[in-house]
Amino acid sequence: MAAYRGLLVSFLLPLLLQTVYPLQLDHSDVKLFAELEELARIVDISYCIGATGLGIQKPFQCLSRCSEFEDFELVTTWNTGLLLSDSCGYIALSHPPSPPRIIVAFRGTYSIANTIADLSTIPQEYVPYPGGDDGGSESSKLLGRGDTIPTRAGETPPPSNPPKCTNCTVHMGFHTSWLNTRKSILPDLTKSMELYPNYTLTLVGHSLGGAVATLAGLDFKNRGWDPRVTTFGEPRVGNAALAQYINKRFDIPPANETSSRKSAKFYRITHINDPVPLLPLAEWGYAMHGEELFISAPSLPPAVSDIRHCNGDEDPHCIAGDGDERPLWGIPTRFKFWELFFAHRDYFWRLGLCVPGGDPWDWYREYRKYGDGMDEMENTEL
């Protein structure tokens, strides 16, 4: 009987593991963990821009974590306002010996009320670039620049013929945030791309900034650029058709296919108990896209083994099913709005407060610079 049980377990265990895809603690997954942890600190710096921060100054100085990135050079910051369609962030160059990157970091929103309100507006039709820049379109009206935004200094946009997004709708507030942001950042961004053509275009965003980063990534992809996108606590951006369009544009594999995960160019990071990735509600016509990595540890800091590769767009073993089987006080995760202060901010670090060393919650922790000795992290916590 014991031998039979052993055979049964050895047969079933691989099938069970196919569902949740935990990081395997090999060198490539440890490297991915380190990259995500660094990107979390990079996007945390974006909270220095806006009402509660004193900003970021050149060469790369701020009250928060700027000193942790000695090889960074600030290009510009932007702040489009304090309305529901506001957007803040910065563009920086990551010079060697750090990985050569042009980083565009999109901040979330300070206001919890605004966060919830941002998630309640009606959807609108999504038209990919360059269609969204056609004369008379809503995009053109908002930008006031038509199709004349340069992609390299002194040039007009590249010829682009991206596939249509049939029956796609997008959250109006998120889309407006991106349109307002686009006119603010494209001149500086394209100039940086001209000066540093071999640097990787890297987009990172948290919360509302994750939604804007996603739409920016689509825009840049449709222009013929090659962005890498990482979002933390990204809400649902649009309907199922738009989610599938994102998957196709970024070569995100469907459920049960994992061959390209090691070289993925889009990661959507979620955290247990975070309500924002579950909003706007599916009942309102919104859906998640794929390439989700789920942080299963409720408290900080997570270990490498706490990160799961999820299966498909809405894996029930990841954020899509979080809390459905064990709702706290009968309240499912998507309605735990108090977690906007906690789980929604807890992505490797507690994000969202521009003070020396980051949020005081993190002051007892040390960060590490990762190099050839990353294997030492395999069974440790940061």
- Residues annotated as catalytic are 207, 274, 344
185 to each of 7, 44, 78, 79, how far by Cα in Å? Answer: 59, 19, 7, 10
Sequence-distant (6+) residues with CB within 8 A of 238 are 123, 126, 168, 169, 170, 171, 286, 287
- Bridge partner residues of 203 (DSSP): 104, 229
Side-chain-side CA neighbours of 196 within 13 Å: the count stands at 19
Sequence-distant (6+) residues with CB within 8 A of 135 are 146, 147
Pairing of strands 123-125, 101-106: unpaired
**Token pair 């000066």: residue:** 195
Q: Closest Cα to residue 289, out of 262, 270, 263?
A: 270
Cα separation, 350 vs 205, in Å, equals 14
Sequence-distant (6+) residues with CB within 8 A of 10 are none
Length reported for the chain = 382
